[in-house]
Structure 1
Amino acid sequence: MPVPSTTVDLAADARDLTPVQLLRLARLFAGRPGIADEATARPDADPHERTWLQLAGAPHLQVWLIRWPPGTSTGWHDHGSAVGAFTVVRGALTERTRVAEVQEERLGAGEGRAFGASHVHDVVNLGEDEAVSIHAYSPSLEQMTHYDLVDGRLRPAGVERREAW
């Protein structure tokens, strides 16, 4: 698959970044003029599903632009060994996490979240308008474990590997 022209080549010897550094990086990408407009639905994609575009990639870093139609969700998942961050560019997203119980935090345009490798969450667009966000991970995503919320507990439901994307 050809790499989109918006991809930035990063040094192959880049070091793993911290969640706070990734949030700063996501905010830098989010501040790029017209970035939200680059999150258009692919012609071959269902317009009611999330679509994403990789903006930057190297062995120790990935940056993604994600378009969220109303009602779309990631489902409960982690990011394998990667740490990450995301920031909302347009609209609003709700992040659900579970410690003792499910907690929700609504994040509007300009707001973001940084998280460690053990972070499990579900991100959803509960609004009536499309949302756009920037996500950054270090090292690059290799796999994600998906979870089901059953009787208030998260139970592993399967592992999705990079090859499937």
Structure 2
Amino acid sequence: MQYKDFQKTKEPKRPLLKNCARAFFVGGIICVIGQAISVFYMYFFDFTEQTVGNPTVATLIFITMLLTGLGYYDRLAQFAGAGSAVPVTGFGNAVISAAIEHRTEGFVQGVGGNMFKLAGSVILFGVFSAFVIALIKTIITYLGGAA
């Protein structure tokens, strides 16, 4: 009990409101950039609102990976906290950071083996969920056609 009281006196106060504001604004700016990319693809490449999502997400992940490789995204993440980790850009950063960290171990065992440690579970969950939804839709369609 005495240690907890001592620890509280020595622990630096975190600027909670300031951190939340940073996360909110940086996350919002990332989302505005994503919306601008979507509008760009719809205007110049004739995507529809239903089909523009995939190229927009891929572009955001590519930009994040490029900025992480150049060392800029880490500075943004230090400033923004969760505001840069929650959008899809956090996924791109997680993939490329692991690859950069283990590049000295070689391309196969280092980069390839460690790149999807964190992101692999996300990809696996997405693929498995898509399979289950497709299976349910197929069963419902089959039962609906048989009746």
Q: TM-score range by the shorter chain?
A: under 0.3
Specify the structure having the higher radius of gyration (Cα): 2
Q: TM-score, normalised by structure 2?
A: 0.28
Q: TM-score, normalised by structure 1?
A: 0.26
Q: Which has the higher contact order (CA 8 A, sep 6+)?
A: 1
Please identify which structure carries the higher helix content.
2
Please identify which structure carries the higher strand content.
1
